[in-house]
Homo-oligomer: A and B are copies of this chain.
Amino acid sequence: MKCVSCKDEYGAADAGTCRECYEEASETEEELKREIEELKSKVNFLRFWSPVDSRSHHYHRSTTPCFTDVLLVAFDEDSGKPVANSVPVPANKAVLTSRSPVFRAMLETEMEESLSGTIKISDVSYDALRAFVNYLYTAEACLDDEMACDLLVLADKYEVKHLKIYCEKFLISKLNWESSLLSYSFAHQHNANNLLDASLSIILDNMEKVSKREEYMELVEKDPRIVVEIYEAYLSKQVNTAAAADSHDDKVVKRR
């Protein structure tokens, strides 16, 4: 027979679908693609002009004003001053409160930020703050390892779930056994559960190698409870594997 898709001849052993199912599947694919196009156009419609132009280093309002009504300042807690070479990033209260329950609580009550119209964002680089505001407007960010970590920290702090998941996905795609312990500890610190699970799974598969690394020693010193958690997961995995093997052996014995 001839495959209607790749046009190759194939025998009964390599048979896939009948023609009817093939046609149905093709229709489904077309429908899914149409749905994707519609959703993409919806995203474009809902996306905001960002008051931060992500292409230039210094923010400038887009050629037209954005009716911004609040300023975000990258703030250095140690010096008690704005981060060097930074300027306040303008934003809309309506956007901030719509994206983040933390900003909502801040701006909808008579808190300092609401009264002054300025929100200090602590311990963040100017670039990360700009990228953060840009994401709140557009749901887009250009990530590298550092930016993904910086934005994840902000997403956790300001409870922007969508951004957190976005950063976690990026970091998970970059995971390897060498980085897994640092990632686990970082995920722990910032409540990033997807990253936590993914890095734990890699750690457990490479337990011996991981336990010989410098970061491991440091973590034992700094936060031994996290290391205990890892060992508990390791033990639990061992027990489960053993139980599964036993149950398999039992079945083999019974069959005999």
Contact = CB atoms under 8 A, between A and B. Distances in A.
A contact residues, range? 35 or more
Interface string A12-25: 10111111111101
A28 to B, nearest CB: 7
A17 B20 contact: no
Contacts of A77: none
Contacts of A15: 1-4, 15, 18-19
Contacts of A48: 46, 94, 98
A16 B4 contact: yes
A29 B17 CA distance: 15
Contact of A32 (B8, B29, B41, B93): B29
Interface string A23-46: 101001100110110011111111
A70 to B, nearest CB: 9
Given A36-B35, A68-B94, A8 B18 contact: yes
Contact of A46 (B16, B33, B47, B97): B47
Kindly report how many copies of this chain are found in the complex they form together: 2
B162 A64 contact: no
**A contact patch SS:** helix
A46 B49 contact: no
Contacts of A25: 5, 25, 29
Contacts of A231: none
B3 A108 contact: no
A9 B35 CA distance: 33
Nearest to A40: B39
7 contacts: A8-B18, A10-B18, A14-B18, A14-B19, A46-B47, A49-B98, A64-B108
